[in-house]
Copies of this chain bind each other. A is one copy, B any other.
């Protein structure tokens, strides 16, 4: 326990972040870039200390038997620490969204209205496991002129404590208040509660992690939340889907990185293409070690298909598993997607322009594609540089969130004595 916790509360940290936010909001783009480079340099310089703390987390996790996958996500090594620093440098080079004029006009009475991008103020984040999120979110928040309050997973507690300390020291050495980066990790559950109920202090709260974590944050928070959701992602193989596109896109969307939210989980094949496409797509998936969970029609057309249950259609596997179903027609595919999609990403493979446009228009998801891999739903791929998360809600932002999504706007009105008639 640090000396701080003897003298302050989670609420005090939120208040100090709010106060610091005023200072960060006034930094110029060049100032913010300089501070981020100082943070990146400090992370590199302090690599041994960061790795030692991470070693503590790994030992504790191993003793507690948290499992190899989690240990792997938790683990830092010299290369990973270097890429933490390089990610911060990348964020430093992104164009500064603050001050951008996004709208405006002159009122008939001559008052000049201007809508400008401003920082949110204080960004909160509640997340799990990977210590890189601590650095990524702090860097993005700072670049967009915000202070940040972090609540990481308890498994990464030692790593996060040191990373936050290193970043705060770098702020201070750069002449910027260290209070702009706060953690409430040392308050345990109370820290998360303070964030979720921090009305007047937290302008937006972003949960990142498991569906259970996100559900808790969304339902318990009284501050505004951006929901970053799970992805039960669909690919539809239309009657006209070219065999090579169908095979290559489905395999890429499943196999290239199965553990992430934009990986495909369900393939829907139109009935009159099933005989042509199910065997080749299933075979290509199985050749890459994928287990195909199929309905009866799929099982009749391919070998080694595991029978799919109702539960499969609603499952985000995040593994080398995929569900596959034959549907009567495009209406059947759209109906299935309405029922089971989490609104993240869906793609149709087709050469029929009418079906492509109908799919793009009618599917109500953050990203809707024709003839492309669902793996493209990603901030870096969209050209946003780093990524805060992928919003699956409709308020504020939808899809990959970049720097602009960590800002708000305000209206400026410049008059010369005008009053309302």
Binding site for B on A (CB under 8 A): 22, 26, 105, 107, 111, 113, 115, 118, 120-121, 199, 203-204, 218-219, 222, 224-227, 242, 244-245, 248-249, 252-253, 256, 347, 356, 360-362, 364-373, 375-377, 381-383, 393-399, 408-420
Q: Would B394 and A242 count as touching, CB distance under 8 A?
A: no
Q: Would B248 and A394 count as touching, CB distance under 8 A?
A: no
Bound: A417/B356 CA distance, A = 13
- CB within 8 A of A372: which of B244, B253, B408, B418? B418
Enumerate chain B residues within 8 angstroms of A256, measured Cβ to Cβ.
Answer: 419-420
Q: Across the two chains, which residue of chain B brings its CB closest to A226?
A: B395
Bound: A181/B22 CA distance, A = 44
Task: Given A372-B111, A394-B224, decide whether A410 and B420 contact each other with a Cβ distance below 8 A.
Answer: no
Q: Would A420 and B364 count as touching, CB distance under 8 A?
A: no
Q: Across the two chains, which residue of chain B brings its CB closest to A204?
A: B395
Task: Given A224-B395, A373-B420, decide whether A356 and B414 contact each other with a Cβ distance below 8 A.
Answer: yes
Enumerate chain B residues within 8 angstroms of A362, measured Cβ to Cβ.
Answer: 22, 26
- CB within 8 A of A252: which of B199, B397, B420? B420
- A191 CB to nearest chain B CB (Å): 20
Q: Would B111 and A376 count as touching, CB distance under 8 A?
A: yes
Task: Given A105-B383, A111-B372, A111-B376, decide whether A242 and B396 contact each other with a Cβ distance below 8 A.
Answer: no
Task: Given A356-B414, A368-B411, decide whether A396 and B398 contact each other with a Cβ distance below 8 A.
Answer: no
- CB within 8 A of A381: which of B199, B368, B372, B420? B420
Enumerate chain B residues within 8 angstroms of A22, measured Cβ to Cβ.
Answer: 362
Q: Would A409 and B418 count as touching, CB distance under 8 A?
A: no
Bound: A377/B412 CA distance, A = 11
Bound: A211/B118 CA distance, A = 26
Q: Would A413 and B367 count as touching, CB distance under 8 A?
A: yes
Q: Would B399 and A411 count as touching, CB distance under 8 A?
A: yes
- A364 CB to nearest chain B CB (Å): 7
Bound: A347/B411 CA distance, A = 12
Nearest first, the 4 closest Cβ-Cβ pairs linking A and B are: A372-B415, A252-B419, A394-B408, A375-B420
Enumerate chain B residues within 8 angstroms of A370, measured Cβ to Cβ.
Answer: 413-415
Q: Across the two chains, which residue of chain B brings its CB closest to A251?
A: B419
Enumerate chain B residues within 8 angstroms of A222, measured Cβ to Cβ.
Answer: 218-219
Enumerate chain B residues within 8 angstroms of A371, measured Cβ to Cβ.
Answer: 414-418
Q: Would A368 and B224 count as touching, CB distance under 8 A?
A: no
Enumerate chain B residues within 8 angstroms of A366, measured Cβ to Cβ.
Answer: 410-411
24 A-B contact pairs sorted by A residue (CB < 8 Å): A26-B361, A107-B381, A107-B382, A120-B394, A204-B395, A224-B227, A226-B395, A248-B419, A249-B417, A249-B419, A256-B419, A360-B414, A365-B410, A367-B413, A369-B414, A371-B418, A372-B413, A372-B415, A372-B418, A372-B419, A373-B415, A373-B418, A394-B408, A399-B409
Enumerate chain B residues within 8 angstroms of A396, measured Cβ to Cβ.
Answer: 395-396
Q: Across the two chains, which residue of chain B brings its CB closest to A372?
A: B415
Bound: A83/B398 CA distance, A = 37
Enumerate chain B residues within 8 angstroms of A393, measured Cβ to Cβ.
Answer: 224
Bound: A367/B225 CA distance, A = 23
